[in-house]
Copies of this chain bind each other. A is one copy, B any other.
Amino acid sequence: METEHTLRRLKTIEGHLRGVIRMVEEDAYCIDVIRQIQAVDAALNKVSAQILENHLNSCVITAIQGNDKKERQRVLKEITEVFEMSAKV
Which residues of A are interface residues toward B (Cβ below 8 A)? 3, 6-7, 10-11, 13-14, 17-18, 20-21, 24-25, 27, 30-31, 33-35, 37-42, 44-49, 51-57, 59-61, 64-65, 72, 76-80, 82-89
Contacts and interface: CB of A to CB of B under 8 A. Distances in A.
A46 B76 contact: no
A35 B48 CA distance: 9
Among A24, A76, A87, chain B packs the most CB atoms within 10 A around the CB of A87
Contact of A3 (B18, B24, B51): B24
A54 B33 CA distance: 12
A17 B21 CA distance: 13
A30 to B, nearest CB: 4
Given A24-B10, A51-B33, A64-B60, A41 B89 contact: yes
Given A3-B27, A14-B21, A30-B55, A35 B86 contact: no
